[in-house]
Structure 1
Amino acid sequence: MILILLPSADYDPTESSVPWQAMRNAGIEVCFATPEGLPAYADPRLVSMGFGPLNPMLMTRKADLHSYAQMIESQAFRQPLAYADVDPAQFDGLLIPGGHAKGMRSLLESGTARHIALQFFKAQKPVAAVCHGVLLLARTLDPDTGHSVLFGRKVTALLATTMELPAWLITAVWLGRYYRTYGQTVEAEVTAALSRKSDFVRGPRIAKRDSAEAPELGFTVRDGQLLTARWPGDCHRFAAEWVAILRAPARQIE
């Protein structure tokens, strides 16, 4: 069984439901966990409110919203565990979606969520994170080393100059800091947790949004049992590669 950590609200519907759909199609059982053990719903702006004329650029794609609609109707979604009740030993892998609205902080700033993530790394189990979800891992310190669990690994996450900052600039007039979860960019904080700046892999200069029909347009970074991606536009490839990791007969750190 695979654990998906969700915040209390405001996560990205694509980054959560596309991997969920891929796992369901592969016959892989999924359990959700939220801070208080209550069903947690995605960022309403990304589900229904939208961005007006900027929808073609920023809004969740219809096919991915369909996956989200199916996910929130599932029994597992409606009966999540509380973070405090999670026993990592009962799960075979961990997936952490992202999102940038304020509700994400209930995941990204949770000491309990960091403890859960640490146990998966200690047990050398598969872990996948996308966008802001990688921040939780950057903030998860291994007490044996004093470093982040990402130290010594190659990763990717939401890019600053081509993703996070441009989205903030074009929406700031009416949405304020909606696209700035923290003062520091995701890329800057994640990079600071690595052993070398070059371990943060940015991918192609021009990011292309993938789809179920063209997952190869997405970009991911795999380092052993760790899989990371940058944004919703990577999530079909991210989901396919995650399922491949989970299906592998021998899960050993490469």
Structure 2
Amino acid sequence: MITIGVLGLQGAVREHVKAIEASGAKAVVVKKVEQLAELDGLILPGGESTTMRRLIDKYGFMEPLRQFAKEEKPMFGTCAGMILLAKHLVGYNEPHIGVMDITVERNAFGRQRESFEAALSIKGAGEEFIGVFIRAPYVVSVDDNVEVLSVHGDRIVAVRQGNFLATSFHPEVTDDHRVTAYFVGMAEEAKAKKVV
């Protein structure tokens, strides 16, 4: 069975655990660096990216997370998690983990009160997926090696680059687990390749 971790420092951890289990994988809440070694994939949940970065630094997670990415283990960032994975952030000189060739704008859809839901078509995960956008970022631009999986209006809201996946929205807060199942599939493929 595939084991997917959810970085448990801040954000919608419980909802991700439920979605992972509903997708047929084992879920682990990651609160210690040592736990990363036992994972086939890792979800960086939504939350508040500045707070998450502070906690990542406080608990010594930054280098181990970059190493996890270097080993090409699948990582999935939702909302604030997308900000953590991006190499370029509008208005900021430095990225956080910085492994995806994307430029992201924070809070691009407005503040908390401007949160909304929208039906999305997501390549690989299906049609009519209800994306929940809460103080959501969006992808301003992508490099050629990044696949755009979904757009809302003219804004890119889901992307994949190799073993890295990122969404502006929160797929874990609905009972539709197709996006999480897509990521579990990515982790299964990556694990199968390593075995070969």
TM range, normalised to the smaller chain? 0.5 to 0.7
**Cα 1:186–1:229 shift into 2, 3 Å:** closer
TM-score, structure 2 as length reference: 0.60
Query: Residue type matched to 1:133 in 2?
Result: G
| Between structures 1 and 2, the one with greater helix share | 1
Instruction: Find the partner of 1:123 among 71, 89, 93.
Output: 71
Q: What is the aligned length?
A: 157
Instruction: State how far apart, in whole Å, the 2-side matches of 1:87 and 1:241 are.
Output: 23
| Between structures 1 and 2, the one with greater strand share | 2
Query: Residue type matched to 2:20 in 1?
Result: M
**Cα 1:158–1:200 shift into 2, 3 Å:** farther
Task: Say if 1:98 and 1:131, in contact at 8 Å, map to a contact too.
Answer: yes
The CA deviation at 1:17 is 4.2
Partner of 1:238 in structure 2?
Answer: 179
The CA deviation at 1:3 is 1.7
Query: Residue type matched to 1:136 in 2?
Result: L
Larger Rg: 1
Percent identity of equivalent pairs: 23
Instruction: State how far apart, in whole Å, the 1-side matches of 2:38 and 2:62 are.
Output: 17
Partner of 1:5 in structure 2?
Answer: 7
Task: Say if 2:171 and 2:180, in contact at 8 Å, map to a contact too.
Answer: no
The CA deviation at 1:106 is 4.1
The CA deviation at 1:116 is 2.8
Partner of 2:99 in structure 1?
Answer: 149
Query: Which stretches in structure 1 are left out of the alignment for 5+ residues?
Result: 35-81, 142-147, 171-178, 208-218
Task: Say if 2:47 and 2:80, in contact at 8 Å, map to a contact too.
Answer: yes
**Cα 1:156–1:222 shift into 2, 3 Å:** farther
Instruction: State how far apart, in whole Å, the 2-side matches of 1:233 and 1:32 are.
Output: 17
Task: Say if 2:42 and 2:76, in contact at 8 Å, map to a contact too.
Answer: yes
Task: Say if 2:69 and 2:75, in contact at 8 Å, map to a contact too.
Answer: yes
Query: Would you say 1:96 and 2:44 are equivalent positions?
Result: yes
Query: Would you say 1:247 and 2:188 are equivalent positions?
Result: yes
* Aligned 1:18-167 pairs, distance under 5 A: 18-34=15-31, 82=32, 85-100=33-48, 105-109=50-54, 110-111=56-57, 112-138=60-86, 139-140=95-96, 148-150=98-100, 153-154=101-102, 160=108, 163=109, 165=110, 167=112
What is the alpha-carbon root mean square deviation over aligned residues?
A: 3.9
Task: Say if 2:20 and 2:26, in contact at 8 Å, map to a contact too.
Answer: yes
SS in structure 1 of the partner of residue 99 of structure 2: coil
TM-score, structure 1 as length reference: 0.48
